[in-house]
Amino acid sequence: MILVGTSGFSYEDWRGVFYPPDLGTREMLGYYSQHFPVVELDFTYYRMPSPRTMAQIERKTGPGFTFCVKAYREMTHERPDDAGELRSLCRQFASALEPMSEAGKLGCVLVQFPWSFGPGPANLQFVQSLPELLPDLPLVVEFRNNGWISDDTRRVLREAGLGFCAVDEPRLKGLMPPLAWVTSPVSYVRFHGRNARKWWKHEHAWERYDYLYSEEELKSWVPRIREMADQAERTYVLFNNCHAGQAAKNASMMQLLLSADLPACGA
């Protein structure tokens, strides 16, 4: 099964592009779920979610909708040195996801690492420990550093039951190329845009992802996504080029390109 959506949904600059101009902020997710069957929640990277908040979000969507949830940054980018503190953070994060799990709407947890997280014994050991830190949760790992491209990395992910996040991003030295690896029952693709000029040098974070894919650029991914879907139980295709509604435009475009492979959206 292939599910297409965007990274986040609550953006004011989507009004008049994707959302009706007068749509209330609280109605955005309900409207979104009528057009896409999955969303990647990224606010959970910036602040630790609570069970109450996640339950409120879950209730705004109908049966069959899916949430992919980005891991909190203190679990990936700003990890504490104390192992006990890290385990506590992971338990708190997993507890917050229980309302979505119980509703059958949790697709996976996206564990994204920064470019500075390069390959090495300590980092490899941490990757291998993820199923123990976040037990009973489907996990997908996103690497930014291309030093992780190796048969050993693929083997470790497969043996640990960890999914691999394929990415489309600028073809810059040190970044990950578009590898369509499938290492678990969950496969995942994130489209970050190809704004090479602003990837490393930008004043605002959104500038890095300011990019609108052409239909031809997306078409090149269609055979790879279908191949990934043949190997996995679920394949998530998420667009992170969110500035000015570009992610919604490209997600809609991808849905049309994959229309023969897609289920109907939840109400």
Mean pLDDT value across residues 116-139: 96
Place of tokens 């609570």: 50
Nearest to 67 by CA among 38, 87, 93: 38
Confirm if 132 and 93 have CB atoms less than 8 A apart: no
Distance, CA of 84 to chain centre: 27
Nearest to 93 by CA among 59, 45, 125: 45
Residue ranges per structural domain of the chain = 2-261
27-71 tens-digit pLDDT: 999 999 999 999 999 999 999 999 999 999 999 999 999 999 999
Instruction: Tell me how far apart the alpha carbons of residues 4 and 258 are, in angstroms, rounded to a whole number.
Output: 9
Confirm if 254 and 4 have CB atoms less than 8 A apart: yes
170-217 tens-digit pLDDT: 998 899 999 999 999 999 999 999 987 877 887 777 788 889 999 999
Confirm if 149 and 179 have CB atoms less than 8 A apart: yes
pTM over 0.85: yes
Per-residue pLDDT at 205: 78
Per-residue pLDDT at 263: 63
Instruction: Tell me how far apart the alpha carbons of residues 79 and 177 are, in angstroms, rounded to a whole number.
Output: 26
AA identity, residue 243 = H
Residue 67 is encoded by which pair of tokens? 């949430």
Topology, domain 2-261? TIM Barrel (3.20.20)
Pairing of strands 163-168, 186-191: parallel
Place of tokens 């290492």: 183
